[in-house]
Amino acid sequence: MPSGDAPHATHDLAAHDPTLAARDPLARSSRQLHLFRTALIGLFAGLLAVGFKYALSWSEEGRQMALGYLHEHHASFGWAVLPVVGGLLGLLVGFFTQRLAPEAAGSGIPHLKGVLMRVRTLQFWPLTPVKFVGGVLGIGAGLSLGREGPTVQMGAAVAQLISQLLKVPKADVPQLLSAGAGAGLAAAFNAPLAGLVFIVEELHRELSSRTAIGGLVACVVATVVAHSLGGDLPTFEVHSAQSLPINVLPWVCAVAVVSTLGAVLFNKGLLKTQAMAIRAGKVVPRWTHPGIVCAAIGLIAWWLELAPGGGHHLAQGLLSGGMSFTIGPVLLLLGVKFALTWLSFASGAPGGIFAPMLVLGLLIGKVSSIAMTNINPALAQFDTEILVLSMAAFFVASVRAPLTGIVLISELTGGYALLLPICIAAGVGFVTAEALRDHPIYEALLEADLRRKGQGAGSDEPVSIYIGIQNGSSLADRPLRQAGLPKGCLVVGVERAGKLLHPAADLELRPGDHITVLCPGTMPDAPSKVVQLCTGI
């Protein structure tokens, strides 16, 4: 998570002396060259994101067309076709994912956070083709996963490839990786500001002008690519959103609390089912899990065709008012969607949880809206608004990234008239999830992965972390001897304003400093604890 606008004697020289980067680990390229690279990353990350979006759309449309054809022409045995086809596709996905790129499993965002913490590695090949093809086949077969997490991870992989091809100085690479990730998110959602805020709040966790402007360039270029090839409409079209009167805001808080409870349940269920699936892998080979889940989903799709897949069609139908539900069918769909998302993610197939989180938030919002309308019929006119606010609260409570949630939901729906209620819903979701002591989902997934795999689970090889000290962290404005790092962790370097300082015991750490910490390989959860101490998150 390196940053830095502070002057450094080698910054500009590195642009003219390619060998300087190899001699000085702090060397950084000139800002102009850095921005050129981020623009290049945004271009290719945007192209990859658009290609992935279209491929997924075609695969999901193919599943729906097959379902319709079987219902119409082969109702007697059609129910058995999708389980067989889906099961075979799932087995293919599981085999190649486990064989070629195990890091392509799941969302990819926890893995990327591990890369930025320097406890995981990232390579374009074979991760990107496995993630792309595996996501298309798996989600097309019905897995309740989304494209956004994979697009983020593939965007970072594009940045890694470009960094290698251009021989980028080592100190610049983390910023380029986060810029590529943000560009992937921006292109996936047509949301450039959300991509930028995601870089700052969730990935890089610091805000320097170098990080901000580089991320902004990448996100804007990627979004321009997405607009040019896929249209400039928001991801979800919401035509009737209106500002809410003050007397409705208490209802907004109530909806946010209900959505937060759903998000906490989602997080705990996701972690639990993943742990169970990994334990079951000792009996049933891990690569078969996507096939088993796809076969089960293919059977469910025969009777409940809105439940499988990423859920974009369902979300759009709810937000546009094109789908009319009573509370019973909504509760059924909500329960099935929870279960399918848990099982799909636990299977180890490539695919993210962004889209399922948004759909679950919408379904909880629909339940809340129906219940509130029964209590106060006047609230029926705010049905769409309640759905949007529930989606915001669910996302923020699960991920614990309020700024990203606020900007993302606003850009997703074009609902800028709801900015104040979205802020309230996000704030209530954040505070309630904190009060319930639920761990942010991406940190929890990374921590669970580190505990399972560690750096060799018992290896003596230390893990190096380079991270910035933020305002509000317990390390800021304290001498190094009082840092309170996990036992066995050692600060071996401190960088301030581009200069290396001796990490003496009485050296007072300041916000903006960057420290290099060696963590014992035998303590797989130490890196995440160091990050929490340094960021205050």
For residues 367 and 465, membership in a common domain is answered with no
Residue 144: pLDDT band with limits 50, 70, 90: very high
Neighbours of 505 (CB within 10 A): 10
Rounded to the nearest 10°, the torsion over CA 14, 15, 18, 22 is: 30
As given in the structure block, the two tokens for residue 453 are 């795999």
Instruction: Report if residue 398 sits inside a domain.
Output: yes
Are both 54 and 167 inside the same structural domain? yes
The CATH number given to whatever domain includes residue 460 is 3.30.70.1450
Count: domains in the chain: 3
Residue 102 has pLDDT above 80, yes or no: yes
Local confidence band at 181 (pLDDT 50, 70, 90 cut-offs): very high
pLDDT, tens digit (0-9, with 9 covering 90-100), for 12-30: 434 444 444 444 444 556 7
Last residue of a domain, one of 399, 418, 444: 444
- Maximum mean pLDDT: which of 70-79, 250-259, 377-386: 250-259
d(CA 51, CA 234): 18
CA dihedral defined by 421, 385, 190, 37, rounded to 10 degrees? 20
Choice between 214 and 78, residue whose per-residue pLDDT is larger: 214
Name the domain boundary from 395, 416, 444: 444
What average pLDDT does the chain have? 85
The mean pLDDT value for 475-486 works out to 86
Split at pLDDT 50, 70, 90, the class of 10 is: very low
| Domain region containing 339 | 246-278+319-444
Give the predicted TM-score (pTM) of the model.
0.84
The residues with which 507 forms a beta bridge, in sequence order, are: none
Do 484 and 524 fall into the same domain? Answer: yes
Q: Indicate whether 116 belongs to any domain.
A: yes
In a domain, 301, yes or no: no
19 vs 410: which has the higher pLDDT: 410
Percent of the chain with pLDDT over 90: 50
Task: Give 352's strand partners.
Answer: 146
Boundary-marking domain end, from 418, 444, 470: 444
How far is the C-alpha of 427 from the C-alpha of 392, rounded, in Å?
10
Look at residue 254 in the predicted model and tell me its pLDDT.
95
Residues 392 and 511 in one domain: no
Say whether both 28 and 153 belong to one domain: yes
Q: What is the pLDDT of residue 140?
A: 92
Task: Examine residue 416 and state whether it is found in any structural domain, yes or no.
Answer: yes
Note whether residue 236 is domain-resident: no
> Are 207 and 59 part of one and the same domain?
yes
Assess if residue 467 is contained within a domain: yes
Q: How far apart are CA 133 and CA 138, in angstroms?
A: 8
